[in-house]
Chain A
Amino acid sequence: AQSVSQHNHHVILSEAASLELGCNYSYGGTVNLFWYVQYPGQHLQLLLKYFSGDPLVKGIKGFEAEFIKSKFSFNLRKPSVQWSDTAEYFCAVNPDNAGNMLTFGGGTRLMVKP
């Protein structure tokens, strides 16, 4: 079965540190990839998405993610985090032949210390 793994469950960083959150998926075919963020008390918001083309995708708030097909990975990065980036981050995968279905990773809770 399709699965999505986020290996870091909790990450604590100081402001200005660089961030990389891992995401790996198990599906072998064509996929659409997403990162969502959930700020405390708020709903899930789309950070960025990859459908095709340039594997380095830039999203909102300075985030980017790189799709590496050979590694089945879609890691999220930010060069310098801010306290306001404290949130939970979810990677999600939609196999191209699975209609609308999204499979989510377990989430990574990021805490940025001021």
Chain B
Amino acid sequence: GAVVSQHPSRVICKSGTSVKIECRSLDFQATTMFWYRQFPKKSLMLMATSNEGSKATYEQGVEKDKFLINHASLTLSTLTVTSAHPEDSSFYICSARPFREYIQYFGAGTRLSVL
């Protein structure tokens, strides 16, 4: 099946720093990528949808200036958590959708801990 690679798998940073998370589709081109946040014992909450070459669409309540999304190519999307604070600590998961498919393929997730 299609493979989505997410990096890093775990990051610990100091409060106030920025963290970049990469999401790559390894064996397919992804016209659309998604970023989710998963709180402990909760489901995945969609943060934003990004389409290659255009601005991301953010869900209500998600600060676009805080969570910068760039989808510069058909195989790479990045999420940058700017000026991270402890409340941003969470598990972030990306997914990618191949062209003309309705199935999303998920990355392994990134656990962010902000001290």
A interface with B by C-beta (< 8 Å) = 32, 34, 36, 42-46, 49, 51, 90, 94, 99-107
Q: Are A42 and B102 in contact (CB under 8 A)?
A: no
Interface residues of B in 23-82 (CB under 8 A from A): 32, 34, 42-46, 49
Whether B42 pairs with A100 at a CB distance below 8 angstroms is no
Residues of A within 8 A of B4 (CB): 43
Nearest B residue to A34 via CB reads B103
B106 and A45 contact, CB distance less than 8 A: yes
4 extra A-B contacts, CB within 8 A, seeds A100-B102, A100-B104: A43-B108, A43-B109, A103-B46, A107-B42
Shortest distance between the CB of A107 and any CB in chain B (Å): 5
> If the complex has contacts A46-B103, A51-B102, are A101 and B49 also in contact, measured as CB distance less than 8 A?
yes
Quote the shortest CB–CB distance from B66 to chain A (angstroms).
21
Is the CB–CB distance between B108 and A105 below 8 Å? Answer: no
| In the complex, chain B residues whose CB is within 8 Å of the CB of A102 | 34, 46, 104
Q: Can you list 9 A-B contacts (CB < 8 A)?
A: A43-B4, A43-B109, A44-B44, A44-B106, A46-B103, A94-B102, A100-B104, A101-B49, A102-B104
Query: Given known contacts A32-B102, A49-B103, is B108 in contact with A42 (CB within 8 Å)?
Result: yes
| Given contact pairs A43-B106, A43-B109, A45-B106, A100 touches B43 in the complex (Cβ within 8 A) | no
B44 to chain A, nearest CB (A): 5
Flag if B93 contacts A44 (CB, 8 Å).
yes
